[in-house]
Amino acid sequence: MYETFEPQEARRLLDRLDIHYTPKHGSWLNMAEIELGVLSRQGLDCRIPDKTTLKNEIAAWKQRRNSAEAKIDWRFTTDDSRIKLKRLYNTLSE
């Protein structure tokens, strides 16, 4: 940032950023979608009357999920990606 912007502007922009860990393997977006799917099936399978109840339900679900040390079984391999995304691999190798 400091190589591109003046120091004050770089600092202003950096203060607005939240840096998050990105997993080395697997797509973080797919992982987030999987977790949201699990949440909707396990924690939000009924009508939630208000925002406070929603927050409490999500917090309880998160506590149970973390206590169980739930993990995602990532099954999309490099070989799978080469088959599914073949058209993209062709353009990358050109």
Query: pTM for the whole thing?
Result: 0.49
The DSSP output letter for 82 is H
**Residues 28-79: pLDDT tens digits?**
788 888 888 888 888 787 788 999 999 999 999 999 999 999 888 777 777 8
Categorize the per-residue pLDDT at 25 as very low, low, confident or very high, splitting at 50, 70 and 90. Answer: low
DSSP line for 22-51: --SSS-HHHHHHHHHHHHHHHT-SS---SH
Residue 24 and residue 32 in contact, taking contact as beta carbons nearer than 8 Å: no
pLDDT value at 11 more than 90: yes
CA Rg, the chain, in Å? Answer: 20
Higher pLDDT residue, 90 or 71?
Answer: 71
51-67 and 28-42 helices, crossing angle to 10°: 110
The phi, psi pair for 60, rounded to 5°, reads -65, -45
